Structure 1
């Protein structure tokens, strides 16, 4: 691996959410779990317009960080990069302030399901967009699928 500049170190720390992306097994699952655990305090407690701004910022900064991380790790969508899980998981929760633990668990499971199995257009989005944007967008599409399912469950249960 080539030597890293301070900016590369910062970008990879953002892309991996610090140590979370370096956990030895299933870093994407750990990234999603950390995102779900943090969501009630760092995301869902905000008004909707702030949550939208936060997601836009995560998308922008995450795209940059993922792009740099791909160059540093010399690999397309390195497994240790998990900022995309943060984006997709929080997108799943966008319209659900104050969720119970049951709904948070369901949001986690649904997002992981769509992120892992990548039904169309999730897989397409990953390859249709270059670099870090493709890394982020596929998790965004998986998050939209999970959001739709979560809304359906909420409508059925009440």
Structure 2
């Protein structure tokens, strides 16, 4: 039995900065190549980064290649989110934005072609669902917790559910 008077206090969570981002490839990916370092609204900044990146990528990649990129980014993101969360000692740190990136790429990939107003609507719907976590999104967030592989998947999972709900709302809006 350990004596509470002599046991060390738990280490505080790290606050990421550029040095942390560049210290490990997983950090760079999980923090959205710097988008997650935004002092306010890193999830929104990460989603904006995803939107811009998607618009650039679709100029060079076919729909099939974008789908493969999303699949590969999910697997790599799972590793990156797991590793980064463990290094930060926080189960689901707000600075990890790769979940927003991959999930919003999925929304755009499945909902395009859309004009600017449709893309803006998709962005707004996704951000509201991801930030407020209503119904199924909140349920998804509660399913996978921790600092291991299960928690790393949980970081991604609730954003995929938010993406599905966004796609459902867009489909209902279109019809």
Length-normalised TM-score, structure 2: 0.79
Name 1:139's counterpart in structure 2. Answer: 159
Q: Which has the larger radius of gyration?
A: 2
Matched, 1:82 2:102: no
**Distance of 1:44 and 1:119 partners within structure 2:** 34
| Alignment length (residue pairs) | 153
Residue 8 and residue 125 in structure 1: after superposition, are their counterparts in 2 closer, same or farther (change >3 A)? farther
Which runs of structure 2 are paired with 1:7-156 in the superposition (5 Å)? 9-43=24-58, 46-129=61-144, 130-155=150-175
Q: Is the 8 A contact 1:122 1:139 kept in 2?
A: yes
- Unmatched 5+ stretches in structure 1: none
If asked which structure has higher relative contact order (CA below 8 Å, sep 6+), I would say 1
TM-score by length of 1: 0.86
2-structure distance, mates of 1:7, 1:67: 17
Aligned counterparts of 1:46 and 1:143: Cα–Cα separation in 2? 21
With over 3 angstroms needed to count, the CA separation of the structure-2 counterparts of 1:5 and 1:116, relative to structure 1, is closer
Conserved in 1, the CA contact under 8 Å of 2:78 and 2:153? yes
**Matched-pair contact (CA < 8 Å) for 2:43–2:100:** yes
CA-atom RMSD in angstroms: 2.3
Structure 2: tracts of 5 or more residues without a match? 1-13, 145-149
Quote the offset at 1:98 in angstroms: 3.3
Provide the C-alpha distance between the structure 2 equivalents of 1:50 and 1:95, rounded to a whole number of angstroms: 13
Q: Which moved more, 1:35-44 or 1:101-110?
A: 35-44
Moved more, 134-143 or 120-129: 120-129
Contact 1:45 1:97 in 2 (8 A): no
